[in-house]
Amino acid sequence: MNDPVSPHIPQSHPDILYGAPQGELLREEILADLLEASAARNPGQTALIFGERRLSYGELNAQADLVAARLIDAGVQPGQIVGLWLPRGIELLVLQAGIAKAGAAWLPVDEDTPVDRLQVCLDDADGAGVLTCAAFAPRLANIGRPVWTAEALLAVPADGATLSRRGAVSPDVPAYVIYTSGSTGKPKGILITQRSICHFLRSENAVLGVTAQDKVYQGFSVAFDMSFEEIWIAYLAGATLWIGPKEISGDPETLPRMLDENQVTVLHAVPTLLALFNQEVPSLRLINLGGEMCPESLVERWSRAGRQMFNTYGPTEATVSASLARLQPGHPVTIGTPLPNYGLLVVDVNALPALRLLPRGEIGELCITGPGLAAGYLGRPDLTEEKFLVNPWSSGAHDGRLYRTGDLARIAADGEVLCLGRADDQVKIRGFRVELGEIEAVLAQQEGVGTVAVLLRKDDGIDQLVAYIVPEAGVELDSKALRASLAAKLPPYMVPGRYEMQEAMPRLTSGKIDRKALKAMPLSAPPAGGSEDSDLPETPAEEALFAALAALFPGQPVQRQADFFTDLGGHSFFAARLASALRADPRFAHITVRDIYQQRQIGKIAQVLADAPKAAEAEAGWTPPSTLKRWTCGLAQAAAMPALVALRMAQWLAPFFTYHFFTGDPGDSVVRAIAASVGVFLLATIGEFGIAIAGKWLIAGRLKAGDYPLWGLTYYRWWLADRLVEAAPAYLLSGSSLNAWWLRALGAKVGKDVIIGSMTLRSPDLLSIGDNVSIGNAVNFENARVQRGRLLLGQITLGDDACISSFAVLEGNTQVEALGHLEGQSALGDGARVPAGRIWAGSPARDTGAFDTTRLPPRPQVGAARRLGEGVFFIFGILLIVTLFFMPVFPSFVLIDWFDEQGWLPWIQGDDVRIQLLRYFLLAFPASTVLIVLTAILSAGIRWSVLPRLKPGRSAIHSNTYCAKWLVSQIQESSLNVLHGIYATVFAPYWYRLLGAKVGKDAEISTALGVVPDMLTLGDETFIADAVMLGDEEIDGGWMIMKPTVISHRSFVGNGAYIPDGTVLPEHVLIGVHSRAPDNDQMKSGDTWLGSPPINLPAREQTSGYPENLTFHPSPLRRLGRGLIEAFRIVAPHALVIAVGYTLVLAVMPAAGAGRWAEVTWDLTLAGLGYGIGNYIFVVVLKWLLIGRYRKQSEPMWTPFVWLSEGVTNLYEGIAVPNFMRYLRGTPWLPLAFNMLGSRIGKGVYLDTTDITEFDCVHIGDHSELNALTCPQTHLFEDRVMKIDRVTIGKNVYMGPRSAVLYSAVVGDNARLGALTLVMKGEQIPANGYWAGCPAAPAR
């Protein structure tokens, strides 16, 4: 601790530092008085030495008198301001003294200052004239004021002339005015009074103790007020001034030598100057440092016995200095304590302009009080008012005002003041407030550091702190070491990143460091962003990590051993940002914020970054199978196709044929014909199951889990078996115990009392189901899929009491343990496992809690008798229903026969097949209408006569209620074979009402699955899009739960969405594509919910601009138009079937009659095949004729375009897919078939889905793999406007089962989409990325 300069006596306020009260220092005097007193005391004493010249005090005084007299004669009044512009030397000081003696004030300007500046200052100060020398005088030609040269002023007077003398001069007149640069660019002049400066000189010397014996170095420019300390303290004491020649004033070699030679004893200097001295100057007994921050090293170096070192601090506005510290080695440098009669206090920066005094220890703005305060700024009353304030804590005497220094400081506990740099030298680095002065202070304390300045620079857009250091003479500084010491004391963001060593600091004329010049200097060699102390990255992971760290912590060195948190100053938010930044690179998509917490060290984080899990590397290139292989398989598949198609056609052709075989001749019994036909039909139906089972075992055998090459032999066998199995009408078994037997027959292991709604199962051998398992509706066991050119077959294991809800999808190699629950619309990806008793939900499925076993009563036990009874019931029920729904066909036949006999349409008669086709097609129209109407009535009739209205509630699955509900569902399903055309037409609501649902006005229903009509309420103007699972019953633990499901007014349920049982959607709610409705209590009217798990989106784009008559409230004419087109669309397929059937039968009947059964079979087979392909061609032709090319467009719903488009789609789905295209799934032919419809699908694409509607809008790159149930969703209906746009899927893209890509999205090459992944509108999946989830996000 420095010795206190003066003991401070607490006066009016304990938080204000007061200098020693020494009233005697305040006198009624002016500068001239001081000089004259010294001259009077010792006129012979040398006053000035300049080179060889010397001037004694007497001479100085006399010459000054001369100058003063001439000035007075020229009219200069006391207190008037005159410029002073001369080169350094004796004349300068003499003229200065002369001005003082005239009682005037000088405006000193450094000799190097340009004239313009002088002019500006003079004008501002309203100067009376300029004192200069002859050499400079010419440049002042235009100054507009009197110019007095030294030569003239000092000219020897005429003998005997009396010199004018000044009169009484008040000490309150200006003594000098010094101009400093203002922040606005205009210099501001600070006016100091005679009283102030005289008091200061006495005050400071009371401490410094300069005496007449001293020889004082005069090196400062007179424009800098530190020159007063040199010159006028010397005059006060009567000391000798040794004026340094200009050329040596900065010379580190010559100056100290000359000081030494001349035995200078007192040095006033800026610390940098002293730091540069390359030799000791033993004669110096007093060193007074000021003007900038003083490094400790300087104190160390220059302290010696017998020498006093001081640090003074003060703005010009407070008259040179206000505080002073005695410096001692080993003690921190402060600005000390106030000079006698001065006061220092610290105020709260944030409270300004109000003055709030801060107690010791707190940082704030330093303020000065005392008699030394300037009057103010010349001509700037506003600025003066801002900086010179009334002192609220005035103790009366001379501290009525205080001056705000603009410096930050803190009063230490011991009463010393620490200056912390400019208040506006607070800069912001990455949001942190940093006092550059504080950093400079710490740096200055380091060994070997001479002068230091710290700046905030922005290089290459990065903010960083740069330290400019002038090392001590002969010292080599190590940036690393400096940084390390700073890091130990300062927060990391305050440690400069760069250390620029300098020879010297650029300086302003005042001697202060020229920060602007420093900033303008380009940084030295090391490239920006990398600090020379950073480690160099050696691996790609390190490169990415170091780059990300450099961006987050600019300028800080990145070293492997550095700890992210303690060394770099990171915290949780930075860790989060770092993880996100790293994940932008798909190579590092696996890194999580947890990794950063766990590893902490940069090197370790880089290691974890590099250790990508295998899955992420899989996205690196793979070779698709060869074209040869592909087409070999394709040909083999083509070879099998006719048989497949024929088998399908046989299912209706055979009974058709049978009926007609047994009729047509008189005497034939219609009843017998019907019976025979029905018999054949039933055989054919059962036969389909039989063929599927036999085919599967014969062709595929038992396929083991593993991966097999795509298009290879195993693939072919699996494919063929899959086609056969898929062709079987398994929907008939839905919900019955027969389903389990069917699976067992196919090779699955199924436990006891397993209830299955409906499912797709791709590899039956690899399914193992425990006891009491419940599986909902439309569940996808996609345990066979094609990925990266391999067919992957995986095991799915469901433990006892497990429950898989509707619309869930499971890939192979998954497991649901006992009591595990997989919620609806969830995806369990390859390798995932639901632990025992846990509920998993979402896509990808995540743990959402434990399953509460008390939620349901215990599973009801069921005896064998009951089970047997149920089995019989189911079998009987299936056969009955199937038959019943086959029956309406016969009245149509009868009708056509009758038309024929009656000779209808005589003009279309003939033996030509085409004519016959046309004839029967036309005749079939009314007949088909009869068929359809009858079917509808039959369904409703059975349903309402046999079964009561279902009530919501819970019943056991082995109960009569369940059986009743099952029957209702069977009726729905079976009727839909005939009535599938009703979907998405204006007739659909009527059909549902017929079945018992409550459907409001203008509701639109495309395809709703799982509907329990008694439970369903659809409000007015609701919209149910395609393949929506709408409120199907919940089955779990041996119980069936049915709850009312309500979709309120104008709500919209998107394609493939899942509405759980009991959902009540408020009005105007949108459930997005493939999304799951959230819990009822989460939804509010107007919400938009998207995804699984569903998230609430804040707003949705409203499609506006279409009149209501095209969207919600069409005119009767439009209703009629649509109704007609749709009626045609419903009837036409049936008419076609009947027409073809009739024509065919007619054609083969002769052969049949002749007993040529082989020929009959062959002909029928061929015809069936032709029909299948014909369906496809028909749709192709229709599409091109009616639509042309689909392109990006939006059309409101009630327009012909939409009806036609929907018509084509419906026919495509209704006849082309089931009769032909579904057999092309998984073959190289399917892409070709789609390309004929307008798609752009590349070569080698594996396509296992037919879910493409706006064909031209689908672009799929070569070798991509679209697995089962994937969908490029090229259209959406929102707000009843059909919007169509393109879906672009790149090359080598893998789409997992049930994935969908919405229009205007682009999936990059080689990307991978997990199961049930939804790529949103307009989203761009990066190439090689692995994304999963609904909505899609980078997979981890």
Partner 1 sequence: MMELVVHAWPGPVPVLRDGLFVIGVETSALRERAREQVRLAARTALAAVLDEDASAVTIASTPGQPPHVSIDSSARTIGCSFAHEDGYALAAFNLNGAVGVDLMRVQDIPDWQAVAHDYLGAEATAALQATEAKQLPQDFARAWVRHEALLKCAGRQLSEWAGAPPVAAIAHLDLQSPDSVALVAYIPKPG
Residues that bind partner 1 (CB under 8 A): 431-433, 490-491, 494, 565-566, 569, 571-573, 575-577, 579-581, 583-584, 592-594, 597, 846, 848, 1091, 1093, 1095-1099, 1335, 1337, 1340
| CA atoms within 13 Å, Cβ hemisphere of 30 | 26
> Which DSSP symbol is given to 398?
S
* Closer to partner 1 by Cβ: residue 861 or 1096: 1096
* Closer to partner 1 by Cβ: residue 620 or 1099: 1099
Q: How far is the CB of 1096 from partner 1 (least distance, A)?
A: 5
Q: How far is the CB of 432 from partner 1 (least distance, A)?
A: 5
Asked if residue 365 lies in contact with residue 45, where contact means CB atoms within 8 angstroms, the answer is: no
C-alpha distance from residue 517 to each of 425, 453, 507, 755 (Å): 16, 12, 8, 84
Sign of CA dihedral 257, 261, 263, 268: negative
* Closer to partner 1 by Cβ: residue 500 or 563: 563
* Closer to partner 1 by Cβ: residue 53 or 458: 458
CA 1061 – CA 1016 distance, rounded (Å): 10
Asked if residue 803 lies in contact with residue 840, where contact means CB atoms within 8 angstroms, the answer is: no
Sign of CA dihedral 432, 433, 438, 443: positive
**Range 745-753, long-range pairs (CB < 8 A, 24+ positions):** 745/689, 745/693, 746/692, 746/693, 746/696, 747/696, 747/697, 747/702, 751/800, 753/862, 753/867, 753/1038
* Closer to partner 1 by Cβ: residue 616 or 1233: 616
CA 578 – CA 591 distance, rounded (Å): 10
* Closer to partner 1 by Cβ: residue 576 or 1124: 576
* Nearest residue to 988 via CA among 960, 1013, 963, 962: 1013
Q: How far is the CB of 572 from partner 1 (least distance, A)?
A: 5
Per DSSP, the three-state class of 1071 is strand
* Closer to partner 1 by Cβ: residue 1096 or 1109: 1096
Two structure tokens written together for 836: 């025992």
Q: How far is the CB of 1271 from partner 1 (least distance, A)?
A: 21
Q: How far is the CB of 7 from partner 1 (least distance, A)?
A: 30
Per DSSP, the three-state class of 130 is strand
Q: How far is the CB of 601 from partner 1 (least distance, A)?
A: 15
* Closer to partner 1 by Cβ: residue 486 or 784: 486
Q: How far is the CB of 359 from partner 1 (least distance, A)?
A: 12
The greatest distance separating any two alpha carbons of the chain, rounded to the nearest whole angstrom, comes to: 171
Q: How far is the CB of 576 from partner 1 (least distance, A)?
A: 5
Sort 112 into a burial class: Cβ within 10 Å, 0-12 / 13-18 / 19+.
Answer: exposed
* Closer to partner 1 by Cβ: residue 491 or 706: 491
Amino acid at 624: P
Asked if residue 203 lies in contact with residue 339, where contact means CB atoms within 8 angstroms, the answer is: yes
Q: How far is the CB of 581 from partner 1 (least distance, A)?
A: 6
CA 407 – CA 416 distance, rounded (Å): 15
CA 57 – CA 97 distance, rounded (Å): 11
Q: How far is the CB of 1284 from partner 1 (least distance, A)?
A: 25
CA 782 – CA 777 distance, rounded (Å): 14
* Closer to partner 1 by Cβ: residue 427 or 918: 427
Q: How far is the CB of 183 from partner 1 (least distance, A)?
A: 24
Asked if residue 411 lies in contact with residue 14, where contact means CB atoms within 8 angstroms, the answer is: no
* Closer to partner 1 by Cβ: residue 307 or 1340: 1340
Could you write out the DSSP letters of every residue in 192-242?
EEHHHHHHHHHHHHHHH---TT-EEEE-S-TTSTHHHHHHHHHHHHTPEEE
Phi, psi for 777 (deg, rounded to 5): -100, 145
Q: How far is the CB of 442 from partner 1 (least distance, A)?
A: 13
* Closer to partner 1 by Cβ: residue 524 or 598: 598
Phi, psi for 531 (deg, rounded to 5): -100, 145
> How many H helices and E strands in the chain?
34, 78
Q: How far is the CB of 1340 from partner 1 (least distance, A)?
A: 7
Q: How far is the CB of 1304 from partner 1 (least distance, A)?
A: 18
Amino acid at 153: L
Judge if the upstream peptide bond of residue 1335 is cis by omega within 30 degrees of 0.
yes
* Closer to partner 1 by Cβ: residue 163 or 1097: 1097
Q: How far is the CB of 843 from partner 1 (least distance, A)?
A: 13
Sort 414 into a burial class: Cβ within 10 Å, 0-12 / 13-18 / 19+.
Answer: exposed
* Closer to partner 1 by Cβ: residue 27 or 583: 583
Q: How far is the CB of 567 from partner 1 (least distance, A)?
A: 11
Q: How far is the CB of 1079 from partner 1 (least distance, A)?
A: 13
CA 434 – CA 476 distance, rounded (Å): 28
C-alpha distance from residue 1176 to each of 579, 651, 1241, 1290 (Å): 52, 19, 18, 27
Q: How far is the CB of 457 from partner 1 (least distance, A)?
A: 19
Asked if residue 109 lies in contact with residue 223, where contact means CB atoms within 8 angstroms, the answer is: yes
* Closer to partner 1 by Cβ: residue 781 or 840: 840
CA 1324 – CA 1246 distance, rounded (Å): 22
Two structure tokens written together for 238: 């009567």
Sign of CA dihedral 1221, 1226, 1227, 1233: positive
Residue entry with tokens 């761009």: 1324
Sign of CA dihedral 325, 331, 334, 336: negative
